[in-house]
Amino acid sequence: MSDKSSAGSSTSEFDARGFRNALGRFPTGVAIVTARDALGGLHGLTVNSFTSASLEPPLILWSLRNASSMMPVFREADNFAVNLLAEEHIEDGRAFAKSGPKMFDSSRWELSNEHGPTLIGSVATFNCRMVSRVPAGDHLVFLGEVLTFSYSTTSPLLFHAGKFFESDELLGSRDSTSDSR
């Protein structure tokens, strides 16, 4: 079943690196969450902690490590946007995963005065109003009400075991002619 496991009876014995590796075995999509600061500056970061929370009302959530340099922006933001990345956005995913200033080139990003920028060609975008921020260990969970959204049938960029993958690369492309079932 598994070649690695870790369990401890106390916190001091808990294998944090092993736990992170175990969580990384779950493939996820990749998103860039964006917002404006109080002065109108544009900010964004790559996350894979995005998920739906409710259909009625339409709510989504994502989380951010408390030690992140982006925490002050999102702690104060009234609105934010979530951009689910397409395979073609792998370099954007990498760039926004690094700390430092981000580029929001108007040829690639649609800029809104109310929400964060939205990436052109995303698999889906969600413009949200911040509903709540919930402390959760070393992270803060952000819950947003979806005000507007859009989506396409573009193939998503995926994240697994600490690396980006295109859908076919991670899931394996299937040759339907060799499927004899």
The mean pLDDT values, 10 residues at a time, for the chain of 181 residues are 51 78 73 94 93 95 96 96 94 91 90 88 96 96 96 83 64 46 38
pLDDT at residue 22, as a whole number: 83
CATH topology of domain 16-167: Pnp Oxidase; Chain A (2.30.110)
β-pair type (42-47, 51-54): unpaired
> Rg for the chain (alpha carbons), in Å?
18
CA–CA distance, 83 with 160 (Å, rounded to integer): 18
Distance linking the first and last C-alpha atoms of the chain: 26
pTM above 0.85, yes or no: no
**pLDDT at residue number 148:** 95
Between CA 140 and CA 69 the distance in angstroms is: 13
Domain edges within the chain: 16-167
pLDDT tens-digit series, residues 98-124? 988 888 988 999 997 788 899 999 999
